[in-house]
Amino acid sequence: MEGTSVNILTYILEDDVEIHEVINDLLKANGIVNFKLYDDPAEFLENLSADINICVIDHTLKSGINGIDVIKAVKARNKRSYVIVMTGQVSYKIVAEYLNLKADKYIDKNITDEDGRYMYLDELIVSISEGISEAGRRVAFAKYLEETLEKL
C-alpha cells in the first residue's frame, strides 16, 4: 500500500455564502487547494463523485434539508467518504445521530477564544488536513483490497 498517490477532493456544503470567501481564502492560505464550495444541497450532491473524498457538511441549511439527510446521501454513494459536520446547533441527539451515521468529525461553530473570535474555522482546517491523510489511507486500502481480490 506504500507509495500510493491520491488526489483527494474536498466538497464543502455551507449555505451561508458570506462565509465562502473566508473559507476559500483560509483553505488556500493553508495549502488546501483541491476543494469545491457549495451553498445548495442538491447541487452539492449532484456534483459529488463516487470516489472516496472529504465532505464538510453544515447541519442547518436554509433549503429545508439538513445535514443528516446529506450525510445519508453521501454515505450511500461511498461509505468510506470522510465526513466533517459543522454546526451551531449543539444537541447531544444531533451529535449522536451523526456519529451513528459514521461522521468522522463534529465541529461546534459556537466555540470562541478569549477574544471572542470563532475557532471553528481553525478546527476546520485541522480537520480537513486530517481528513486528507485519512482519505488517502482509505483510497490506498481500497486499492489494495481490489488488487488482492483480483489475484484470487
Residue 127 has pLDDT above 70, yes or no: yes
Task: Report how far residue 58's alpha carbon sits from residue 88's, in angstroms, rounded to the nearest whole number.
Answer: 9
How far, CA to CA in Å, does 135 sit from each of 39, 121, 127?
23, 20, 12
Task: Report how far residue 78's alpha carbon sits from residue 92's, in angstroms, rounded to the nearest whole number.
Answer: 26
How many C-beta atoms surround the C-beta of residue 100 within 10 A? 9
Helix and strand tally (H, E) in the chain? 5, 5
Q: Please state, rounded to an integer, the average pLDDT across all residues of the chain.
A: 88
10-109+119-151: CATH topology is: Rossmann fold (3.40.50)
**What is the SS3 assignment for 138?**
helix
Residue 130 has pLDDT above 80, yes or no: yes
Residue 3 has pLDDT above 60, yes or no: no
Model confidence at 7, pLDDT cuts 50, 70, 90, reads confident
How far, CA to CA in Å, does 59 sit from each of 46, 141, 145, 147?
18, 30, 33, 37
Is pTM beyond 0.95? Reply is: no
Task: Report how far residue 3's alpha carbon sits from residue 52's, in angstroms, rounded to the nearest whole number.
Answer: 17
C-alpha cell at 46: 449532484
Domain boundaries, the chain: 10-109+119-151
pLDDT of residue 10: 94
